[in-house]
Amino acid sequence: MTNSLAVFENFKIRRIYDEKTETWFFSVVDIIQALIQQPDYQTARKYWNKLKERLKKEGSQTVTNCHQLKMVAGEGRFWSL
């Protein structure tokens, strides 16, 4: 797997490319951070957690089968996304 960054309106979006399956995986929290124009990562993370909670209450299954990937954070540590 190859790590790289995409930039959307000055927000860095972490992504990984799986060469075996030819699939891109993106950090949902990074995308939400860019879409809501939120400079604070933790606020975007809380937004995503609340959204998942609301979707689950509505019966949406879009978030139940998501697998977390390890991606490198800004300070070089790995985070599950």
pLDDT tens-digit readout, 37-71: 999 989 999 999 898 889 888 888 766 555 666 66
Domain boundaries, position 61: 2-80
**Mean pLDDT, range 25-30, rounded to an integer:** 88
Higher pLDDT, 36 or 65: 36
pTM above 0.75? no
Give the 3-state secondary structure of residue 9: coil
Residue 81 has pLDDT above 50, yes or no: no
Q: How far apart are CA 60 and CA 79, in angstroms?
A: 25
Q: How many CA atoms are closer than 13 Å to the CA of 68, on its beta-carbon side? A: 7
Give pLDDT, residue 66. 59
Q: Return the DSSP state at 5.
A: E
End-to-end CA distance of the chain: 15
Percentage of residues of the chain with pLDDT beyond 90: 25
**Structural domain count of the chain:** 1
Do 14 and 81 meet the contact criterion of CB atoms below 8 Å apart? yes
